[in-house]
Structure 1
Amino acid sequence: MYELQTKETDNSVIEFIEQVDSPKKREDAYRLLDIFAETSGFEAKMWGPSIIGFGAYHYKYATGHEGDAPLVGFSPRKAKISLYFAPGEKKREELLKVFGKHTTGKACVYINKVADINEDVLKEMINESITFLTEMYPNK
């Protein structure tokens, strides 16, 4: 049976950030930690080995697949910083137009550094994602 790899852990968020090789990326991770925690109102938790998540929701798809995931989060990866928001959130595309320098994946938005983005737009994206997911999955 498939087992979800990205689960909430008791690992230290600060210890994880301190292990980030690049001093600049580490500094950006602390800035994002502050923004996400302040904006979301949730405590940062490690999800799997490398995602810093805030809040949680329980999803169940029509296929029967279900699990828990953070409402929003980020990961200071080697190549780029990954920002995690709700896929399907309706204002996302509109907000990304004024977000700053980024690329996107299905659920991720990738940035090189915090200085490349509009922090106010980031806060709005965090709030929109949390609202969308808590309305779609009101059970956590």
Structure 2
Amino acid sequence: FQTEVETISLAVHRNLLRLCGFCSTENERLLVYPFMPNGSVASRLKDDIHGSPVLDWPRRRKIALGTGRGLLYLHEQCDPKIIHRDVKAANILLDEDFEAVVGDFGLAKRLDHRDSHVTTAVRGTVGHIAPD
């Protein structure tokens, strides 16, 4: 929990989910984020909600580019650099303009700028991890 709070607080970018606040008690831990009215990419691809805008190809391209911009910021421009480690459709949220917002930093890893390479154990959601 503490890692996620610290990590997301370091990363400020249009295509990354912004932490509005948090609360931690003995029994509960809460993270407060802005409401994403268009849900996640996973929910949009799975559910055919009557009357809701579809993810046509131009919109999908916009989402892919926004996701890429957010990840580029994390990997190359953020200080310290951050590796998300759980990128999947359920963690790509869509704002009111269908702009991609990368969320869920629970498995994220901050990189020490002194490291020349990254060696980590396999992380992520089963079924979404590259086979190699």
Note whether the superposition's TM-score is higher than 0.5: no
Larger Rg: 2
* TM-score, length of structure 1 as denominator length: 0.28
Identify the structure with bigger relative contact order (alpha carbons < 8 Å, sequence gap 6+): 2
In proportion to residue count, which structure has more strand?
Answer: 1
* TM-score, length of structure 2 as denominator length: 0.29
